[in-house]
Structures are given as C-alpha cells and as structure tokens.
Structure 1
Amino acid sequence: MKLLSHYISVVSILILGLLFTACETTELDLTENPNQLDRDQSDADLFLNSIQIDFGKVIERFGAIGGQVTRIDNMNGRDYENVYSPSDFNDLWSGSYQSTGVPFTDQNGHNQTFNGILADARALEPIAAENELYQHLAIAQVIEAYIIVTLVDFFGDVPYTEALQGSTNLNPGVDDGAIIYDAALNLLDNAIANFQKDSDTEPINDFYYRGDWEKWIQAANTIKMKIYLQERLVNPEALNNFNEIVNNGNYIQNMSDDFQFSWGTNEIQPDNRHPRYANNYEGDGADEYMSNWLMNLMSNSDDPRIRYYYYRQTNVVPGAETAPNEETLSCSLESPPQHYIDGGFTFCFLNNGYWGRDHGDDDGIPPDGFLRTNFGVYPAGGRFDDSSFEGTSQGDGGQGAGITPILLSSWVDFMIAEVAMEEMNDGAALIALQNGITKSIDKVRTFGILDNSANLSFEPDNTAIQSFISDIATNFNNAVTMEDKWNVISEQYWVALFGNGIDAYNFYRRTGYPTTLQPNIEPYPATGDFIRSFPYPADLTTNNSSVDPKPDVVQKVFWDNNPDSPAFPVSN
C-alpha cells in the first residue's frame, strides 16, 4: 500500500499556482461573490481545485488551535481569556467564507493565501447543476458540510443561510448552530446521492480519493457519525443514528479509506509543503514548541509512535540530563508551581532529550531553535527520530510531504468506543480501543520511509507494539472507576489525533476527559475558565453590523449543555 495515495501531481501544482489569479476576490464582508467570472467563463475544475486545497489549509489551522487548548500541541499563553484575540481568526474566517485575495501572515510569521471555501462552492453550484457535474458538486457539498459544522463547533452561531448573497444582504445574521448542523446533514445526503449519479465529465483533480466515489460516500457517512456524536447531549436520537451507520458498515474503517489532505515538497511557487514542516524546518531552527504533556505521556508508556511524531535535536535537556541553563531553558532554574506538585504533573523538562513547553508557558523565545524537539515524519513530513540528535534544517526528512488528517479509521474506532462507554458496554469499548490504537500505529509506521536518510532500525518491532497495546488493554481492564476507564480511552484518542485537534476539542467539552491533562502554569482562577467557544473573528464583527463581539470565551455552542467551568471540564 502506498503511503500517500493522494500526491498533488505536477499538473496540479501548476493549477494551484494559477488559482489565485483565476479566482479573484473582493471584500471580506460575506456579501460579494469572490469569483468575478461570468458563469459561461468559469471553470468548474478551477473552483473545485480551490475548494479542495483551501479545505486542507483551513482544517490544518483549525486542527492546530484545537490541539493547543487540549495539550496535543503547545499553547503559548497564560490565560484562556486572552490567549487568542479576535484577529487571530481572520484567516480562518476568510478561508471558510471568502478571502480578500491578499496574502496574510499567520501566527508563525509565514505568508498564506486562502480563496474562500463557501464562496467558491456558491460559484461552483450553478455551473455544476447546468452541466450535470454531479461529482464536482458532491465533493463541494461534503467539504461545505464539514466546514460549517466546524465553524459552529469553534464559534457557535454564525452566518450561513443569509451569507454570501451579495448586495441583497450586506449584514447577514447568524443562524442557530442546530440549524447549521441540520443543513450539514442535508448537504451530506445530497452529496451521497450525487456521487451515485453518472456524469459525462468527472473532476480533473480529486486530491483526496482520486475519483473513488465509494470512498467519498464512506467519508460523507463518517462525517454524519461525527455530527451525531457531537450532538448526542441534546439529541435523544443521535446515538441511534450513529449506530445505524455503524451497523450498515458504509463508513471509514480502513487506512485506505482515510480522509486526509496530502502536502507536497515544493518550497516556492507555490510552497505546498506541510505548514508544520515549512514553519519549523528553517535556517534558524524550529519555531514551535511541542507539548510536554503529550511527549511525557508517550515517553513514559514507550509509545511506538513517538519516534515518528517527534524528532529530538539533542539528547539532553537542562534540568534533566544536564545542568539547568537560564539562557536556553529559564524554567529549569525554577520550582514547579504548587498545583503542579499537588497534581504530580511534569514541569519544564523531560528526560531523554524531549524538549518542549508546559501548557500556558508564555516565556520569551531563547536561542533554542536547534535544541527544542521538532515535528517528526508523521504527520508533517519531517525527520524520523533515529537518535541522531542533529539540528534540523530545510529539506530534511520527508521534505514536508506529510498529511493533514481529517477523519481517520483509527479515530472512528475511538468514536465507537465513546458510544460503547455511554451504553455501559465495557467489552465493546475495549475492542474499539484496541482497534483504534492498532490502526493508528499501523498508519504512522508507514511514514518512516518518507525519511530516506533515517536509520529505520530504530523503528518499533511487532513485539514492542503488541506489548504496548496489551499494556493499554490491561490498564483499561484494571481501572477501578469509570473515570479511570474514560481516561485510558481519551488519552489514547489524544495520541491518535496528533496532527488535528478539532475532535479533541469537541470530545473534551462533550465528556470532560481526560482528567489527567496538565493544567496551565498559572493556577485557576488567574487562567480563566476553559474556552467553550472562541471569539468571533474581528473581520466578522467589524464588517457585519448584525453580529456583536462575544462578551467572553465561556459562551457554549448549542450541543454543549455540560456544567460551567471550572467544574467542567475537570482540567483548566
């Protein structure tokens, strides 16, 4: 089986370079059609290319933010109320709705460009309908459904039914999140029907499933499962609907079915490398820090995926294997906060060269770009950790040819485990847990070959893998309380979700697990309550008089009826 079955071809790369001139955009107020081509001049394939590529970019950004607040990635900010500003989400807003066409600078100082998924979908619809381009339309419908659900999950009520109507509505109002969820389910049903129709002309480029419409139908059904699971607290029929799809079996079950966006290796014109690679494999070393919580969890359990996820640039960390160093790791000279001591949480440094940061540590940036742990070969297309302990640079490892996972077969098993736990079926939950871990490890292992320079003798063997899975199963079976069982499942779900924290953010608000998460460096209440939804983007509230800024970050989305923080989630 090929590792990345959806490489962007050379022709596709050339098309991508043309997209930003073929799809002109105007104002970011959700009112103008950004594609200023007449319908008879418009190219459905160009619109679809734009939709697919921007989808990968937008999900990568959403996934990074979801990962930061749930400790899968590092969050750089001491309190939840101020760690993200409204302007931090302007790029996601333009990428989801419509763009100004002007490149923006992301949070890591790198230029990015979005065209606007929903605007391009609106422009594509009449062309596809007129020319019976059913698969073009179906792909756009699946992507639109995922995007609007994610917008609700992160922001709550957002403009949808009145959005993108041109001058007929300059200030579209927001829709209730439940209404948008229903619209997404309707889009997915229509997409499934359209995938089954005959078209004279199929898309030139399918960057996800290469024209395998059955796999697209499986992805659409899996997104429906995700929707039902997310609304299970407020919809009494949600679990029945979820189980109906499981019983039918037409959903993502195998690695070959995985819904993912694949990145390339071009550095310029365009730079189509994985953003986590492009941001961290540079001349001045790594830009981002890894999460101490997740690295510690994986290191302590001898997780077989750790050498794929992380590349250690050094084998010693100040305060651990070597003396504290104020210049490179100032916290190595500090005492742990009392709430870290009380909870038994790791602080500042880890053993074996895993150099990251604690949750909420907003210290300055020392000269450690070639010392801190970097992203590995999965999913960013970096280096496999073969204990070479070298500083990373551009062109190393897989050269950025990684993936942004969107919905993986391993994740689906964790979804099934959650439902089994809700139904008090420990046996079914354990089976799903083991299946999820196995599929995750199997997928991650295929990425080692991306790094041609790596010594792959450091890859885990089958004995080590089976021992790890057996240990996790034992931990689940020996768990004294249901909380302990939930923690075993959720911790392993977090590990499998590395590369996209969207579903971790949803799961955490939905269940409150895992309760083992490292808290902020600053103790509560100085940290503020956990983010139940993010601030509205500044461009939305500035340009749309129908939408006011949110008063705080504790406004819940429609499906979150859990108690207020700090009691829930348990860890802030």
Structure 2
Amino acid sequence: MKKIIKYITVVFTAGVLLNSCETTDLDLRTSPNDLAADQADPNLLLNSIQLAYVANMYELNDIGSELTRIDYMLGRNYFNTYPGNTLDDVWERLYSSTDGNGDVFTSDVDLGIFPNVANLQVIDEGTDTDFSFHIAVGQTLKAHMLLLLADYLGKATLSEAGNPVDFPAPLLDDGQAVYTGALALLDQAEALFAAGPADQGATDFFYGGDTDQWIKLVNTIKLKAAVTTGDVSTFNSIIASGDYISDSGDDFQFQYGSRDLQPDTRHPDYQDDYTPSGANIYQSNWIMNNMLVKNDPRIRYYFYRQVDATPGAAGEPASEEDLACSLAIAPAHYDGFVYCSVPNGYWGRSHGNNEGTPPDGFLRTAVGVYPAAGRFDDNSFGGVGLGLGGGGAGIEPIILASYVDFWQAELASSPAAKAAFLESAMTKSIEKVQGFGSLDATANTSFAPTGTDVTTYIDGIVADYLAASGNDQTNILSEQYWIALYGGGVEAFNYYRRTGFPTTLAPNWELNPGSFPRSFLYPQTEVITNSNVSQKSDLSTQVFWDTNPAGPAFPSAN
C-alpha cells in the first residue's frame, strides 16, 4: 500500500521549487496539455517530463530495492507479489496521452514523457526561439526510462511509439533494439547539449541548466548500458574521456522539499514514516543486520530506532502482540540468517514476511536522515512525528558517483584494482551520507561516527576483501554496493541478475517462493488495450543481456 500513495504524491514535489523561483511563475495546477501542442508552454511541458520521470524513478528504485533485500518485500510468492499491474503507472507516465486507470496522473502531469517530448519538438520547429535545451533534457530522461523498461520488462515500445494515428496498437521491440534506440537518443541529446543552448527560463530540477553536467549524465547513462550488457570497450572509452559522473558534486538526484501541504513536497518515505500515528514502512532485516554486525558508519543515518531493543533478539523477551514471529522457531532454510529480530532496536521485517500489521507504529525502525531527511539516530529513541528531523527535504538518488565506482570495480581486471574502486566508492558514499546529518538540527552529534571510525571501517573492509578470494571477495564487494544503493536501488535488480551476487542474501520467508523474477509481466493496461501485446505466463523470461542459468537455481540466494 505504501507505493500507491507515494507514486501519486511524488509528482507534486516540484511545487515548492516553482513557488520559490525568482525568475519564473509556473502554475502547475493548469495542465500545459489542455492546449494544442504548438500553444503549450514549453517550460511547463518540461516540468511535466521531469516530474513523470521522477515518479517513475521512485517506483523503479522501490521495486529494485525490495527484490534485493535493500528494502523489505511484502509477499511470500514472487508471482503474486508482482502482478500484471506492477508497472502500469511507469508505462503510462512514459507513453500515455491519457490517464489509463485514474490513479496515476494528476492535473500536474497529464501526458507521458513521449508525447510531451514530441510536443516540444513541434513547438521548437514552429518558433524562432531555441528550445533545444528542453528537447535534450526530455530525450535524455526518455532514453534512460527506455533502458530501464527494457531491463525490467525485456521489451518496450519504441519504433511505433508516439504515433497513435498510424500505430494505434504499437508493437513491442526486443530489448536489444530498445537499447540501440535509447543510445541513439542519448547521442542526439548530447549533440544538443554540446551547443550550449539557453534554458529559456525553464526550471531544471536536476542541474540548474548546466549543460556540461547534463553531458556528464548522458555519458554516465551510456556507462550504465555498457556495464549492463558487458560492453567493456565502450565502458573503458567513456571512462578514458573523464566526462562522466565521477565526483559527488555531479550526482544525479532529485531534491525534495519540506512543505507538507498544497502541495506536499516531502520525500515520500518521510511522508509515510513521520506521521502522528507513527511509522508505516518496515525496513529490511537483512541490510540492518549486515550494517549492524559490521559497525557500518552509515547505519545511524539510514535508520532511526524508536526503541532500544527488539523482541526475541539478544535475550529480549518475545512479544506475540508486537512481533509475532519473535515466538516462532526459524525454519531450516533460514539457518545462519536473522529470521525475525535484529538486536538493539533495529525493528524491521525479513524478505517476504506477510504477517499482519500489529500496533507497532511507534516501535518499528523508521527511515533516517539519509536520504529521506528524517531523524539522525542519536540513541534518543524519541519517536517520529510531523516536522521532525530534516522535515522530509531529502533526495531521490538516481545515479551517484559512488555507483560508478562500483561499476568500475565490477569490470576491473585485478583484485587490487577492484579494491581501489571499492575504497573510493565507500569513501564517496559515506561522505555523502554523513553530509545529511546536518539536516537534523536537534540531533546529538556526539553519536556521529568520527573520521577515525570511518577510516577504520573502510580499511577493514578493503583488508577483508584483499584477504579473501573467489566468491567471498565478490560477496564483500556486492554487499557494499547494496549498502551504497540504499534509497535508490534500481540497478541492484540488474546487478543481481547479471552476477548472482551477493550470495549472502537472506532467503525468502517462504521456502518455495517461485523463481526469482528475471523480468516483470507486461503492464496490464497495455495488454488489455493493445491487441499486439500478449501477456507472459510467469516472471521467468530473461532479458536479452541475462545469459545466466534459468531459475530457480539462479540466483542461488533464492
């Protein structure tokens, strides 16, 4: 249920940014698409493109994190957990000219990315004003979304997309063709950005109109495609150019606000957890336990504990009312893993636990100050509520410099080179996360890890990596990638299918949950309305770059 609310509210987020803009007065309550394409305001069209994109990224990040234990997944059977409507909203935000199911779009985002980019092109062709900046941004975001749809669905509409007159029932293109087309769009966008076009008063929610930063993003999306498909030559060529996201100052992320009404601009996770009735999200037991055991310096930033003990953990008494599974004996397939309770008040749920919801809103662990701008965990155990911590003015991580270092570590040719990228990635991730501590002005900062703590942690992980070999090394690297992806997570789904690591993930609550999803069902709204799209029978279809063994044997942790 948390996702339904979040996907709707995320599209309102730009409101506070627009209201604070000194150079533009943009009223998103009036749809730019109520007018003919050549009469619409290009700046409002660009706003709609960006908001639709952010809403999609939030949803895809959430799904990728759930599947890989970065977040908690509710559902003991994969097929039932991710039915045919799972990606309906994502599909419609990309392609649709109308609201397909009545619960996705608002008057702020009435058209999908495809038609709005086309509208911008029509406007640009009919005026002397240069709107190539708008088009380049739209093409970049559209291309990234096409790549992700190919990753998640295996196929997407491209060659016949955006032309309902000639192609009222567009065919699905194979994933390889979608990748090729998306990369061509990125080339076009890069050429437009290279000319240094003016933003014409547009609100650029990501880079403030800096075309050099957009070019870095374009190249980094190409890096993402190259590492996904194993195109080492292209990957190395882009790295050699140096023109990609390599510093945290280049990070591609969306900034949320702190206003709670008209519109609510706060991070959606903050909206869910910092309420008068307590927290509503369950955190993943696997990632909390992993970070706790390793004394990860990011743990106090990621998670805010409302209590100092968890029923059934570390000698604490069980509680049938508050945590029913604390009374249960862990099944055999959970041998060696935390089944129900993580110690020290890290109160979450394990992968696939579909038990009912007890009255634990002021007991369960809430989202912290990173990335949702909640509270920093300073052992206050003071609960959650409206306005606490950073007030929700967090970020949606999309592509961070630390992620790129992990990509380089994956493709590096020697353990020493991989270890160097691992160290760099952890350093960037921890530094970025710690920077969010200042958002919680009331926190007791004496609980923040010191520079020595951070150095000791990083040095220890690197030493463990170099002392290990084979799968043990890859698990160390992969676990650190997972931790850095917290709050994002879209690429975790790709990495897991691509490599099968980490093999240390806790199993599903259900002994036989079905094969791990290798791709999702086609959006049900498209299947119903498009006679050329037939639904898959299961989640076992492998995307074109996934050449690993079929499930359920792969990935091994499932």
Task: Output the TM-score relative to the length of structure 1.
Answer: 0.91
1:299 counterpart residue number: 292
- Structure 1 Cα separation of the partners of residues 539 and 24 of structure 2: 40
- Picking from 174, 177, 193, the partner of 2:175 is 177
Aligned to 1:282: 275
Q: What letter corresponds to residue 40 of structure 1 in structure 2?
A: D
Q: Distance in 1 between matches of 2:505 and 2:498?
A: 15
CA 1:563 to 1:203, structure 2 compared with 1: closer, same or farther past 3 Å? farther
Q: 1:150 to 1:368 in 2, by over 3 A?
A: same
Partner residue, 2:531? 545
Instruction: Give the corresponding residue for 1:388.
Output: 380
Instruction: Between 179-188 and 8-17, report the one with greater CA deviation.
Output: 8-17
Contact 2:133-2:198 at 8 Å conserved across structures? no
8 Å CA contact 2:92–2:100 kept in 1: the answer is no
Q: Taking structure 1 as reference, are residues 313 and 262 closer, same or farther at Cα in structure 2, changes over 3 Å only?
A: same
The offset of 1:302, in angstroms, is: 0.6
Question: How far, CA to CA, are the matches of 1:271 and 1:102 in structure 2?
Answer: 24
Q: What is the deviation of 1:11? A: 4.0
| Residues 115-134 of structure 1: pairs in structure 2 closer than 5 A | 115-130=111-126, 131-134=129-132
Shift of 1:206: 0.9
Deviation at 1:567, TM superposition (A): 2.1
C-alpha deviations, 1:75-121, integer Å up to 9, x for none?
A: 00001121111123222222222264589658xxx999674222222
CA distance in 1, matches of 2:428, 2:69: 22
Which stretches in structure 1 are left out of the alignment for 5+ residues?
1-5, 24-34, 233-237
Q: Quick one: which of 327, 331, 345 aligns to 2:337?
A: 345
One-letter identity of the residue aligned with 2:17: I
Residues in 1 aligned to 2:210 and 2:274: alpha-carbon distance in whole angstroms: 34
* Aligned-pair CA distance for 1:9: 4.8
Q: Which amino acid aligns with 2:427?
A: T
1:517 corresponds in structure 2 to 505
Task: Tell me the secondary structure at the aligned position of residue 398 of structure 2.
Answer: strand
Cα separation, 1, equivalents of 2:464 and 2:111: 47
Match for residue 415 of structure 2?
426
Contact 1:519 1:571 in 2 (8 A): yes
Q: Partner residue of 1:361?
A: 353
Cα distance change of structure 1 residues 355 and 99 upon mapping to structure 2, 3 Å threshold: farther
Mapped partners of 1:461, 1:160: distance in 2: 50
Q: Which moved more, 1:35-44 or 1:409-418?
A: 35-44
The one-letter amino acid of 1:438's match is T
1:19 deviation in Å?
2.9
Looking at structure 1, the residues matched to 22 and 548 of structure 2 have their Cα atoms a distance apart, in angstroms, of 46
Identity over aligned pairs, percent: 44
Residue in structure 1 matching 2:243, options 229, 240, 250: 250
**In the alignment, which of 546, 551, 558 is matched to residue 565 of structure 1?**
551
- Higher mean displacement: 313-322 or 283-292: 313-322
Shift, 1:322, TM fit: 2.8
Amino acid at match of 2:479: E
Partner in structure 1 of residue 95 of structure 2: 97
Alignment match, 1:82:
80
SS in 2 for 1:405: strand
Listed one character per residue, the Cα deviations across residues 35-91 of structure 1 (whole Å, up to 9, x for unaligned) are 342243111110111111221121011000000000000000001121111123222
Contact in 2 for aligned 1:284/1:370 (Cα 8 Å): yes
Aligned to 1:491: 479
Q: Does 91-100 or 242-251 show the bigger shift?
A: 91-100
Partner of 1:163, secondary structure, is: coil
Instruction: Say which SS state the counterpart of residue 398 (structure 1) adopts.
Output: coil
Q: Is the 8 A contact 1:54 1:114 kept in 2?
A: no
Q: Separation in 1 of the partners of 2:280 and 2:26? A: 26
Label 1:188 to 1:262 Cα distance change in 2 as closer, same or farther (>3 A): same
Residue of structure 1 in register with 2:452 after alignment: 463
**Contact 1:311/1:385 (<8 A) preserved:** yes
The CA deviation string for residues 361-384 of structure 1, in whole angstroms up to 9 with x for no partner, is 000111001110010010111111
User: Greater CA deviation, 89-98 or 75-84?
Assistant: 89-98
CA contact (8 A) 1:487 1:513 kept: yes
Q: What do the CA deviations read for 1:455-494 (whole angstroms, capped 9, x no partner)?
A: 1221110000000001101110111x31111101100000
Matching residue of 2:3: none
Aligned counterpart, 1:26: none
SS at match of 2:396: strand
Aligned to 2:8: none
Q: Secondary structure at the match of 1:207?
A: coil
Tell me the TM-score normalised to structure 2 length.
Answer: 0.93
**Contact 2:175-2:543 within 8 A present in 1 as well:** yes
| Matching residue of 2:326 | 332
Q: CA RMSD in A?
A: 2.2
What is residue 416 of structure 1 aligned with on the other side? 408
8-17 or 291-300, larger mean C-alpha shift: 8-17
424, 440, 465: which one aligns with 1:451: 440
Q: Distance in 1 between matches of 2:304 and 2:156?
A: 39
Q: How far 1:126 sits from its partner (Å)?
A: 2.0
> For 1:334-378, what per-residue CA distance to the aligned partner results, in whole angstroms no more than 9, with x for missing partners?
00010112xx11110011100000111000111001110010010
2:38 and 2:119 in contact (8 A); partners too: no
Q: 1:522 & 1:15 partners in 2: Cα distance?
A: 53
Instruction: Find the aligned partners of 1:95 and 1:114 in 2 and give their Cα distance.
Output: 9
- In structure 1, the partner of 2:540 is 554
| 2:19 paired residue number | 10
Contact 1:136–1:203 (Cα < 8 Å) also in 2: no
Q: 2:43 aligns with which of 34, 39, 45?
A: 45
The count of aligned residue pairs is: 540
